[in-house]
Each structure stands twice: as structure tokens, then as C-alpha cells.
Amino acid sequence: MGISQTLSSSFVVEGIGLHSGQPVRVEVRPAVIPQGRVFYRDGVAIPALTDFVVDTRRCTTLGRDGQTVGTVEHLLAALMLAGIDHADIIVDGPELPALDGCAQRWSAEIAAAGVCRGEVEIPSINIVEPQWIVDGESQFFLLPADDLLLYAAVSIPDTIATQMLAGGALTRPEVREQLLRARTYGLASEVAALLEAGLALGGTLDNAVVLTNDGYLNPNVWPEEPAWHKVLDLLGDLALTGARLTGQILAVRGGHRSHVALAARLRQQCPACARHACPC
């Protein structure tokens, strides 16, 4: 257990949704009541917990009482990295804006808003023994550690990303920088199908890395950027435990579905998490 934190002030971000292509307005406020990170859409409170995940195709979507909010993982990762345990997130739109395709803008806004120490405890999940978890094509290797260390191995056949590994201790500034600036990615071969399915309508070469058979469509991709983005997604999905984490996690061929399943498993192993579940 540790003492929780919230924001010192509010901030507003506007942009275009990555998948919907629709304009979105998001206001992130200090939590009035310390009940975790909670999204609000049309007056419906949707806690950022694994129990409220309704879709994991291409992004993580939360839902409750007929209302949903998609692409929550980048903001959640930035909040978790900044140590923000409680926040009220009011969303006017179907998903969070794509912005730069990563979490840099969210992180900058959080830093400008400031961090305020709360008065209540927040549960902690500590990995205390080695675990090897197989979930379909995904595998997770968990080890004890004093801090939180996240790694992602990416292998996408017939692309440049066949043997990529990224990650490290989230207390290290260079690791945090790489994680925050890694943009979402997709395959050039899938672009037409995604657009036909009504997805990636807000994607551009500025906010998304596009992989080809032998390289990228983008001119400015940095080494292992897709793997670093997997680490960002993993952190954002692990935020759905509603707890602080310590341990070392290596995700091999991870995705939002398996990340959320891992978060749910960790949450079930933490008796304190159930006692601190959002009452809203």
C-alpha cells in the first residue's frame, strides 16, 4: 500500500480519434472522490478497471450502461507513469484522440497540471515468484523486482519487425522517454481492410508507423519503435488493475486482449484490489 496521488489542476485536450476519425474533447480533472481513474461519457461513470473492458480489437475499449470509450491505453499509461492514481476523465466522443499516436502529449499535459498527494491508500501488486503464462499466441514471463520493469518482444512475419525487443525499468528516464514517444503501428497490407471496417480513419503517417515487407512507409521511424509502443500499450492495459505494480514482465507477442487478461489475473491475486474497487 502507498498514499495515492491525483492531479493538482485540470487540463483539456482536443483532437481526432484514431479509429473513428471524429473530433473528440477530453477534460482530465483532479478526482473529487478518490475512486481511481474514472472515465465519464454522457454522464455515465466508467471505471478504468478490467471488469469494464468491452472490446480489445486494435485498442482497449471500456464500457458501462450502453456507453463506451475507446483507445484509453495511452492516457492510462501516461497517468500511471506519472503516479496519478485518481482522476476524473470526461470524454466527449467515442474514443480518446490520437494526438501524436503515442503518450508524449498526455505526459506533457499531466506534468503541466501537476501532481497532488492524496490522503487515501492505493493497493499494490507485487510479483513475488516467477511465473510463465501462456495465453494463445501470447506469452508472459513474470519475475520479482523492486521496481516495475516492462519488456515487449515483437515478431511480425514478413515485415522488418521480426526480432524486436524493447523495454526496461520505468524508473529510468531514458526508458520513460522511449516508451512515451513510441507511436502506434500497423501493417501496410492491412490499411485497406482497416479503412473498409471503419477503423484507423484518423490515422496518418504522423501518428502511426506503417510497416512494409522491408521497412516503413514513414521516413522518421526510430529503432525498435514498434516494440517500444507495445511496452506503452502493456503499461496502459496494466493500469486497469487499479493498483501500483512492482515486478518484471516480459510480453512476447502481446496484444490488448492478452494484456487485459494478464491485468485481470494480477488483480484477482490482490485481495486489496477488491476492497478498493471503484464504488461509482
> Which residues are catalytically annotated?
256
Closest CA to 241 of 269, 222, 208: 269
> Is 176 in a helix, a strand, or coil?
helix
**What is the predicted pLDDT for the residue at 12?**
98
pLDDT tens digits in sequence order for the chain, 280 residues long: 678 899 999 999 999 988 788 899 999 999 988 999 999 999 999 999 999 999 998 899 999 999 999 999 999 999 999 999 999 999 999 999 999 999 999 999 999 999 998 878 899 999 999 999 999 999 999 999 999 999 999 998 888 888 899 999 999 999 999 999 999 998 888 776 766 666 666 778 888 898 888 888 888 888 899 999 999 999 999 999 999 999 999 999 999 999 999 999 999 988 777 666 666 6
> In this structure, which amino acid lies at residue 173?
P
DSSP letter for 269, please: T
**What is the predicted pLDDT for the residue at 120?**
86
**What is the predicted pLDDT for the residue at 163?**
87
Longest dimension (CA), the chain: 53
Report the predicted TM-score, pTM, of the whole model to 2 decimal places: 0.94
Q: Using alpha carbons only, what angle is made at residue 55 by residues 231 and 110, rounded to the nearest 5 degrees?
A: 50
How far apart CA 60 and CA 33 sit, in angstroms, is 25
**What is the predicted pLDDT for the residue at 196?**
65
Pairing label, strands 138-143, 244-252? antiparallel
Q: Which residues contact 29 (CB under 8 A, 6 or more apart)?
A: 7, 10, 87, 88, 89, 90
**What is the predicted pLDDT for the residue at 278?**
65
**What is the predicted pLDDT for the residue at 202?**
74
**What is the predicted pLDDT for the residue at 148?**
98
Under 8 Å between Cβ of 10 and 30: yes
